[in-house]
Amino acid sequence: MKRPESSVEAVRALARLPFFEGVDTAALAEIAAVTTWREMKKRQQVLSKGAVGDHLLFLVAGRLQVLDVTESGREIGLNLLMPGDYFGELSVIDGQPRSASVVAMETSLVALVPKAHAWELFRHNPLVAERVLLGLAARLRNASVYQTILCLPNASQRVFALLLRLCKVAPGGLVVIDNPPKQQALAIMANTSRESVSRAITVLIDEGVVEKDHHRLIVRDRKALERHAAQDAP
């Protein structure tokens, strides 16, 4: 998706984002008038940890990864951002520097709403304020889950647990992982090597636990994947 070329296109692009559902057209037009749009290339940095947080950001198209860096300098993936997701709200709320970095995993389109206008939206639209609160609660819970995963002692276990976390139930009851992260991205998230990720996925495929299908993984035996995540079964 290309950046909007007119105010009408900008309003329509914002209206498609779940965050703005229920916001009236006049308010959307005001937000669209001050929104900037950035096309990010693969591996390009969208946000830098420690930078000033002066915008609320929305992923319109593409895919992003939230990263942190350990004291030893190693990158750890904290979260994946998909189209429709928003981010950067912590710095907008408390005025503190960015708590993590965000990098484009593929060509992406990002919308940036200035902090002052985001705050006005929070104050005058209870529905939006409620979404922000629920989003913060969900992210806290998600961070807790990832922290638990990173505490697992075995690299394969961490990969299995991450894959389990990415599972979704598709129509018809099929369990799938749509557009799974690249092996390098999974390695960062699991704090391990790409080779370890490759070996873990190969084990699952050889055992018939998962099956590759175009741009997704089909989980044929979720119980087996849960067992692997629990105790790195042979």
Domain range for 79 is 7-150
Q: Is residue 220 part of a domain?
A: yes
> What is the identity of the amino acid at 180?
P
End of a domain among 93, 120, 150? Answer: 150
Q: Are residues 87 and 162 in the same domain?
A: no
Domain end marker among 150, 173, 190: 150
Beta-carbon contacts of residue 70 (< 8 Å; ≥ 6 apart): 76
- 2 inside domain: no
Residue 233's pLDDT is 46
Would 135 be classed as within a structural domain? yes
- Co-location of 206 and 112 in the same domain: no
What is the model's pLDDT at position 179?
84
Looking at the fold, whether 162 and 142 belong to one and the same domain comes out as no
**Contacts of 81 by beta carbon, 8 Å cutoff, 6+ apart:** 59, 63, 64, 65, 66, 87, 102
pLDDT at position 234 is 45
Query: What does the block give as tokens for 200?
Result: 């873990």
Same structural domain for residues 14 and 110? yes
Q: Among residues 150, 178, 194, which one ends one of the domains?
A: 150
Cβ contacts of 131-140, under 8 Å, gap ≥ 24: 131/18, 131/19, 132/89, 132/93, 135/86, 135/89, 136/89, 136/90, 139/79
Query: Does the residue 1 lie in any domain?
Result: no
Q: Considering its fold, how many domains does the chain have in total? A: 2
Residues 69 and 135 occupy one common structural domain: yes
Residues 14, 125 within the same domain: yes
66 falls within a domain: yes
- Residue 214: what pLDDT? 82
Same domain, 111 and 195: no
Beta bridge partners of 58: 86, 111
Same domain flag for 16 and 119 = yes
Q: Are residues 46 and 116 in the same domain?
A: yes
Residues lower than pLDDT 70 in the chain: 1, 70-73, 232-234
pLDDT, position 200: 94
